Amino acid sequence: MRFVNGYWHVEDHHSGNGTQLDSQRLPPDVATRWEAGSIVQIEGYRLRLVEAQPMAEPIREQGAAAAADVSIFLQSLGTEVPRARITFSPGEGRIGVFLEAALIEVEPGKPAQCPVVVLNQSHSPLQVHAKLIHALAGDVVLDPGSVQLQPGEQRLLVLAIDLLRSPQSRAGLYPLQMVIADRGAPQHAVTVDLRIQIRAYSDYHVRTMPDQPQIGQAFEVEIDNGGNTTQEYVIMIWDENQAVIFEPSQVELRIEAGGRDAATFKPSLARSHWFGTRQHKAMLQISAEGGETQARSIDLVSRGAIG
């Protein structure tokens, strides 16, 4: 493309797929005038010439508006996107990177993927490679991590995220930086900032200590919070036959992700007995805010006052 005598001209230099002006293939080595409103198609790119209109805004704002009006056809996604949504490397803009979303939601233990389109805007082949900077617990890769791109070529890469389902993957919003650079000229690099939203999940384990408590002796109900966020738990215990009284009958615990805490209960008989050993059953229920409710029965032993 050249600006000659006040007009833009387009000339094809024996390109492999040719150059089209308003769907008409141009003959090679012939400069053709490019009128305002006409569309030039080169490879997968479509460029429309927009005539500048007199405006009160500064010239730099007019230029920005014109640039935003240009669309690029992304073959791998089968769609056109505004050039303004593509991040280009500084200077010549050799490398372009497009992501559909800058915010990715991930649930630990469930793989997530995000398409990434990389474009070679230069006139030479490029060997581009990717670097990911983050502090996430799990596998975060761009596949493939290194590709050879011919001039004008586009390539679809996949950002794959598979986080550990553990308290290490704390719920919240985290930064992820993607740097895609030309291996032969590292100064030509695109830096894209993403945000990873890790969803909260609930997972906890309960045990009584000892396994079979005795009437008259305190025992503990211990909870391990295996989820990725702070949880509030409500522990309730009762005897449906009302033969055993628990003090207290309800306890609330607040436990950090990956943490552990216990509630202490002391059972006593509503009515004592004199002889032998008796078995009692009680119901234990644990409710987690935003999580499942667990219920189980526990066995208790009482001994008579004599023998």
Tell me what percent of the residues of the chain surpass a pLDDT of 90. Answer: 63
pTM confidence score: 0.70
What does the pLDDT look like over 91-127, one tens digit per residue?
Answer: 888 999 999 889 999 999 999 999 999 999 998 999 9
pLDDT category at 192 given cuts 50, 70, 90 is: very high
Radius of gyration of the chain (CA): 34
Cβ pair 252, 234 in contact under 8 A: yes
Predicted confidence at residue 22, as pLDDT, reads 85
- Mean of all residue pLDDT scores within the chain: 87
Mean pLDDT of 69-73: 73
Question: Model confidence over 271-306: pLDDT tens digits?
Answer: 988 888 999 999 999 999 877 899 999 999 999 887
The residue with greater pLDDT, 145 or 235, is 235
For the chain, what percent of residues have pLDDT higher than 70?
91
The whole-number pLDDT of residue 163 equals: 96
